[in-house]
A and B are shown apart, each in its own frame.
Chain A
Amino acid sequence: MAGNSLVLPIVLWGQRAPTHCISTLLLMDDASMIVTGCHDGQICLWDIAPDLEINPRALLFGHTASVTCLSKASASSEKQYIVSASESGEMCLWDVNDGRCIEFTKLACTHTGIQFYQFMVGTQHEGRLLCHGHYPEILVVDAASLEVLYSLLSKISPDWISSMTIIKSNRTQEDTVVAVSVTGILKVWIITSEVSRMQDTAPVFEEESKPIYCQNCQSISFCAFTQRSLLVVCSKYWRVFDAGDYSLLCSVPSENEQTWTGGDFVSADKVIVWTEDGQSFIYKLPASCLPASDLFRRDVGKAVENLIPPLLYSVLDRADKQLLICPPVTRFFYGHREFFSNLLIQGDSSGRLCIWSIPDTLEQQDCAKGLQTTTSISLQEAFDKLTPRPAGIIDQLSVIPNIKEPLKVTASVYIPAHGRLVCGREDGSIVIVPATQTAIVQLLQGEHMLRRGWPPHRTLRGHRNKITCLLYPHQVSSRYDQRYLISGGVDFSVIIWDIFSGEMKHIFCVHGGEITQLLVPPENCSARVQHCICSVASDHSVGLLSLREKKCIMLASRHLFPIQVIKWRPSDDYLVVGCSDGSVYVWQMDTGALDRCVMGITAVEILNACDEALPAAVDSLSHPAVNLKQAMTRRSLAALKNVAHQKLQTLATNLLASEASDKGNLPKYSHNSLMVQAIKTNLTDPDIHVLFFDVEALIIQLLTEEASRPNSALVSPENLQKASGGSDKGGSFLAGKRAAVLFQQVKETIKENIKEHLLDDEDEDEESIRQRREDSDPEYRSSKSKPLTLLEYNLTMDTAKLFMSCLHAWGLNSVLDELCLDRLGMLKPHCSVSFGLLSRGGHMSLMLPGYNQPVGKPSYDGVELSRKMSITEGLGKGTYGVSRAVTTQHLLSVISLANTLMSMTNATFIGDHMKKGPTR
């Protein structure tokens, strides 16, 4: 999907920040950014200022399971690459400047830790990732291609590695990898430049293997100051070892049944160790642990009880004792040059980041007081401090008097054929709105702000509680009546609605739990099943509900575990239910009999066999991220079917490298310039709506509509160039030549070949219309000519208007801004618009609201004037200062769209259609 077409996402986040239960975190080397991974698989990028103010910038989507570890993946400071791994074995390489996914792969095993290391291969540095996890080796992975090159093996009691550190030696060329296995055996591998060269020849075995009796090892770290000691933190105690011969120097048990989760050296004689509750303790090590002291190693060999305990120096505790649903993640990072002191960063289940700045010269403190948190911010707080609040897709229709937050949208479906968005809300009502218009209200300033209840909408009431899923079956298959809309709710019921009359047709009450999914059976099912929809409920039951007969024709229940996937074997009349525990139930659709229930390999084989039989109808919608990915693939499939009649080459094929680039030569368009996709980061969250603008499709639609108007005159871009060249003769084409001149200027900054490409492609359309144009008088200001299809015209023009208004770089040129507002009818955004970037394999980055808030300055409040200033400043910066990839896409889109619009008769968004509203 993220193939060759230019698709730009715009996000409407809503006031509720997405759930971000932090599972791992990373501070970039230049301390400009914190990266956090969460249990739902998203990755959040936080900008951090030198004064430690933090502002969330973007959310990266791509992983389908909990993020287990993050690591930097490039050594140079120009390329800010990180690698992330998830519980399901996925690995992703991201450019965190752009939020672009550069490479991704999936292994059968889970990584729990990754460290970046540079090998010398010949004279060149080669980036490698050393990974450990649920396997007994350490895998050496190429940091650019994510290919497994070779592995570090164990000869003696090989077992999973729980933690690992790389010791860089200043004295010799030999660096060593020190790791502790889950059974408490310390292992040492020597990695030299040779290792990387002997890749395929001999296996690399450990140099040393020594039991150190450390159960449940949480972390191991090497003292960079003395280069002589190792800190090993286990859940119930932490220990210091001599890094030379790994003899025990000091051991400290945990107090009050607390569980240690990690630790590091703060200085030569101090360590910081943290607990599962989020408390951290700084200890001063006894003299026997300090290589500088005469007493070093004096206690080696003594019983653990007789060792001199370290001195508790300072306590760092969480500022707010907010309830956490799982243990927070804490990491310690060394200060970077002169800018920063040492930082202790903690991320917790509420999406909060806390930072403690730990001074180098630390005085022993009163334990009761401890060191105070320097900064703390949660994703929700970042959302809350914004004015105006981040908009949700139908917020203006969901405001309830006396309640601060608008009603949450809990399920949505977009019907592109009508341009309508159907939103199910938490109070059980369903709202049907024109998608473009509601997006304009939320994103742009204009006269529509004064209208109450704008845009015109329809509300369906029938459910008694939250709507959980919506389905418009006609969109999936034309065999369904196009009036039918199906909704499911937490009140256990499924309702059929007539979308045109707003009538409730039927209520099914067959399930004993909340409805979780509504699906459509594939084409080749029996005639009876073809008119059914499939509903899945949280009581682990599946129903086939016939829309024609208005009754449930089959109910498959009593599955022991939640249903994860529904598959079909239409030729055998089987419905295959995959449960979360890996068991598979095969049901006969006609009789409702359970054919068999299997586990293990057979279960996997049955599920795979369904895929082979029916590649297009894969329905694994259990995870929101999968959901999105599949929605995208489906869309591209649909797009393939809807190849448009006109041929227009892709605008910038080289912009997005696609894995399906061989297939990419096929011109694929969908009729829909706008797609609205609802996503949830967590199943309990309200919907976030992403508007996908397909620039190509939009241009095609504009041109098609233009061509279908009999009295229109089309001006080709060549003519435009002439017109603007001989500026005196041209008159006010496109409401002023200055705009054209400016567009021209911007255009010149873009590669010449892209421009030519674009112009060449439009020749074809021109050809077909030229004759017609010869008949008619080329009147450039013929804005009075009425389009034939008013609604369609409005829809496309509205989409273009919304898109152009969002993309325009407001605030860079005030004269141009005026012009855009007054003569072109574009509208200014309320605040900076959250864009996104699609990259390979359905990976996506979405900017968070307020991504361009200047870090470190107080947020603008109250005063209208200063707010407006900040908006204009922010907007200019926002569009053109955030990421190179995004900027390129925006420029390409603006130029191509502007060119198209300029070539049209009615090339302004000012029209009377706003007042009339849609006719349907």
Chain B
Amino acid sequence: MAAAERVVLEEEFKWLLQEEVHAVLKQLQDILKEASQRFALPVGGSEGAAKQESFVLSAAGMDQVKGVLTLQGDALCQADLNLKMPRSNQIMHFAFREDKQWKLQQIQDARNHVNKAIYLLMNRDVNYRFKTGSEVLKLMDAVMLQLSRARNRLTTPATLSLPEIASSGLTKMFSPVLPPDILVNFYINLNKLCLTVYQLHVLQPSTTKNFKPAGGSILHNPGAMFEFSNQRYEVSHVHKMECVVPWLNDALVFFTVSLQLCQQLKDKVMALEKGTYDILKI
């Protein structure tokens, strides 16, 4: 290959490392800081109260269950549930106890992962001189790992088994106390805050039904069976409600955009580094 081409490629690679990489890193930092602000949590123990947002959860064409949830940062600080009991048709009202909060671990994890990514980027500011492509690749790998973890935490809720939900302590959060045949579960799925209410009926030991305990799942279907504190239950009704949380949507978009930026930078570095390396060899 011509010497001129080699010079041009080397120059281009140098430009990439010294100019372009920092430009992308700056852009990434800006986007991620924006994303991190969406999580709006008090940082560093300073008890600056995060703002409270209320969401009305409902499911289309169903009036058996209604819920109003108040989200403060990563915690649900208030919850009001209206349940229409299937047999009595009586509407029951449950709310969180005053002293209780339910933390949505998914939000906290996502926030922590983003902050880790920002920390990694901040350590390589404009004054830092990248000398090799592999240095950039290593940094991008680390940042992308955190970003994809952050996004995955929001897009893939934990798969819980019914006994796990029953023992999670969520049932003890309410006043009046939830009846034993009701289970609730909160989680984030993509940009939505979700609430599932399971109505159970007790399986008599004499029952002829084949007992088969259900495994872990995000959403259990009617008919799922489980055993909890020596009692067998079957899910009779499932009510699933959700509500879009706008800032979660923003955060997810920011994650996706930054992941793409990272990958594009990686692709550029790999292509150019390989190019210059191969030419040097020939």
Show the binding face of A for B, using Cβ within 8 Å. Answer: 21, 39, 87, 108, 134-136, 157-160, 182-185, 211, 213, 215-216, 235, 257, 259, 276, 323-326, 349, 465, 490, 514, 538, 560-562, 580-582, 599-601, 604
Contacts and interface: CB of A to CB of B under 8 A. Distances in A.
Given A561-B263, A600-B155, A160 B112 contact: yes
A112 to B, nearest CB: 10
Contact of A582 (B115, B132, B148, B274): B148
Given A259-B123, A325-B132, A326-B138, A581 B108 contact: no
Interface residues of B, number: 40
B103 A158 contact: yes
What 8 pairs between A and B have smallest CB-CB spacing? A211-B45, A600-B155, A325-B135, A325-B134, A326-B138, A325-B138, A184-B44, A160-B112
B190 interface: yes
Given A136-B108, A257-B127, A600-B155, A183 B132 contact: no
A136, A325, A465 — most chain B CB neighbours (10 Å):
A325
Contacts of A135: 105, 109
B87 interface: no
A600 B190 contact: yes
B58 interface: no
Contact of A134 (B112, B148, B156, B260): B112
B145 interface: yes
Given A184-B45, A601-B157, A582 B145 contact: no
Nearest to A109: B109
Interface of B: 43-46, 103, 105, 108-109, 112-113, 115, 119, 123, 127, 131-132, 134-135, 138-139, 142, 144-145, 148-149, 151-152, 155-158, 189-190, 218, 259-260, 263, 270, 274, 278
Nearest to A211: B45
A235 B119 contact: yes
Contacts of A465: 278
Contacts of A213: 44-45
Contacts of B155: 582, 599-601
11 contacts: A136-B108, A160-B108, A184-B45, A213-B45, A323-B135, A325-B134, A560-B260, A580-B148, A582-B148, A601-B157, A601-B218
Nearest to A203: B169
A549 B105 CA distance: 54
A199 B151 CA distance: 34
Contact of A185 (B45, B103, B132): B45
A880 to B, nearest CB: 42
Nearest to A466: B278
B156 to A, nearest CB: 6
Contacts of A87: 145
A39 B263 CA distance: 19
Label chain A's interface by main secondary structure.
Answer: loop
Given A134-B109, A136-B105, A213-B44, 4 more contacts: A39-B138, A183-B44, A514-B274, A600-B190
A160 B153 CA distance: 14
A604 B44 contact: no
B45 A157 contact: yes
A159 B108 contact: yes
A562 B259 CA distance: 12
Contact of A600 (B105, B156, B270): B156
Contact of B119 (A184, A216, A581, A601): A216
Nearest to B147: A581
A246 to B, nearest CB: 13
A182 B112 contact: yes
A183 B45 contact: yes
A650 B142 CA distance: 46
A215 B151 CA distance: 23
Nearest to A326: B138
Contacts of A184: 44-45
A128 B218 CA distance: 32
Contacts of A158: 103
Given A136-B105, A325-B138, A600-B155, A182 B127 contact: no
Contacts of A581: 148, 151, 259, 263
A601 B109 contact: no
A325 B134 CA distance: 6
A211 B112 contact: no
A119 B119 CA distance: 37
B152 A582 contact: yes
B123 A276 contact: yes
B156 A604 contact: yes
Nearest to B149: A134
Contacts of A599: 155
Nearest to B137: A325
Contacts of B138: 21, 39, 325-326, 349
A582 B152 CA distance: 8
A465 B109 CA distance: 44
A158 B149 CA distance: 20
Contacts of A323: 131-132, 135
B38 to A, nearest CB: 17
Nearest to B116: A182
Contacts of B270: 538
Nearest to B256: A581
A514 B270 CA distance: 11
A601 B156 contact: yes
A269 B152 CA distance: 46
Nearest to B218: A601
A838 B83 CA distance: 58
